Each structure stands twice: as C-alpha cells, then as structure tokens.
Amino acid sequence: MKPVVTAVALEYRDTFTFARLDVNTQPEKTVAYYIRGTPTYIVFKDGEMIDQFIGAMPSTKLVGNILGALGIEETE
C-alpha cells in the first residue's frame, strides 16, 4: 500500500494530509484509535476522528473513502 498512499498523498496534498503511525513503537495510539489490523486509515477533521477503514484498496477507493468522509465531492 505504500506506493498507493505515496501517490495519493502527492496528488491530493492540497486537499488532505497523510500521517503515518508505527503501531509497533506507539502501542498506546493503537489502542486509543482501535487499530485492529493494518493498513488502517483514520480520517480526522478539525482534530476529531470522523471515519476509519481497514485494508488494502486501490487508489480510487482510498480517495473516494477519504473524500466521502470529509464531505468533498470528487471533481474528476
């Protein structure tokens, strides 16, 4: 998933930001955010967790999930 995330992060850098959490070195965050599998994507808006989805997926689905959670319509 790293190449997909990297490409999406670059393409949508003006719309949203990706951050990475290493579940092996930050187990307290893993528990706090209910991370049960990897990859797990958590969408935050104004500092609040608004959505979470798990598993590998193509870039179109990843972007659609994120934009949908943020309430942003795709313009492509």
Q: Is residue 69 part of a domain?
A: no
Domain containing residue 12: 2-64
Q: Is residue 44 part of a domain?
A: yes
Cα separation, 19 vs 10, in Å, equals 12
Cα separation, 43 vs 75, in Å, equals 20
Q: Is residue 75 part of a domain?
A: no
Q: Is residue 26 part of a domain?
A: yes
Q: Tell me, what's the pLDDT at 76? A: 56
Q: What is the pTM of this model?
A: 0.87
Q: Is residue 20 part of a domain?
A: yes
> What is the number of structural domains in the chain?
1
Phi-psi region of 70 (alpha: psi -120 to 50; beta: other; left: phi over 0): alpha
Q: Tell me, what's the pLDDT at 12? A: 94
In the predicted model, residues of the chain with pLDDT beneath 70 are 76
> What three-state secondary structure class fits 37?
coil
Q: Residue 27: which CATH number? A: 3.40.30.10
